Amino acid sequence: MQTLTQSLVLALFLFLVPNREQQPLSSPEQTPPVTTTCPDTFLELIGDTGVNEEAGNAIVATPDGGYIIGGTTGVAGFLSYYDSNNTLVWSRSLEVEAGINSVNWIGLDSNGKIIGVGRSAAGTSQGLAYVFRYDYIGDNLDWIRKINGQLRSRFEHIIESPSTGNYVVFGHLASASQNDPPYRGLAMELDSGNGAIIWQKEYNLGHRNVLHRGLFYNGQIYIAGYM
């Protein structure tokens, strides 16, 4: 059986460009008028202005018609679950370490669990990157996996393997020094049950190597990033 490490494919600078001639821009007379009403559109303001650097970094739809937002309050990372009527069901903070915490990306796995990645840093001190799984129906943190002591290390994305059900995380590792060693692109597989590392692969192709997004296709992992 082919393992994930044998089928890992790295694709840096991945762009999809349609093969077509450039079309001229529409003149003002050809531009349709902007309507002022749209029954399926709404604007929801979350948090308090002028208090902290609050931000929503990620959003995922739930099977019941609701959605979950992940982000930061400026201090703690947060998850907020809204139902199909845009009513807040619950909101939970993830303050992994003292300092600034942020949930950077979230998704749902095949079992309906939230899988996500985040970052925690206290000023200029050594920070950490973390990955977690959250049971949004039971409102319970299943597990969290942290990588300590690497100031600018960051996880960018997490996906589920269609064959094993485990998770693969993408990002980069770096030391406390900005230039020594350079950023190293990171891909690693985690056990879905407890977050234990199964394998870890690093890429050092230049000064800054960052793996941003990945997907499974025909038994292989394709990754987009930069160096």
For the stretch 6-60, pLDDT in tens is 344 444 333 333 333 333 433 444 555 555 565 667 777 776 766 667 888 999 9
- CA-based angle 88:89:91, to the nearest 5? 80
- Give yes or no for a contact between 183 and 172, defined as CB atoms under 8 angstroms apart: yes
Residue 110 lies in a domain: yes
Low-confidence residues in the chain, pLDDT < 50: 1-29
Residue 119 lies in a domain: yes
At 173 the pLDDT is 79
Beta-carbon contacts of 225 under 8 Å, excluding residues fewer than 6 positions away, are: 10, 12, 170, 185, 209, 210, 211, 212, 213
Residue 77: give the domain boundaries. 50-181+201-218
- Give yes or no for a contact between 77 and 57, defined as CB atoms under 8 angstroms apart: no
Residue 7 lies in a domain: no
At 112 the pLDDT is 94
Residue 41 lies in a domain: no
At 3 the pLDDT is 45
At 178 the pLDDT is 56
Q: What is the pTM of this model?
A: 0.74
At 126 the pLDDT is 59
Residue 20 lies in a domain: no
Residue 143 lies in a domain: yes
At 149 the pLDDT is 52
Distance between CA atoms of residues 1 and 21, nearest Å: 45
Q: How many domains does the chain have?
A: 1
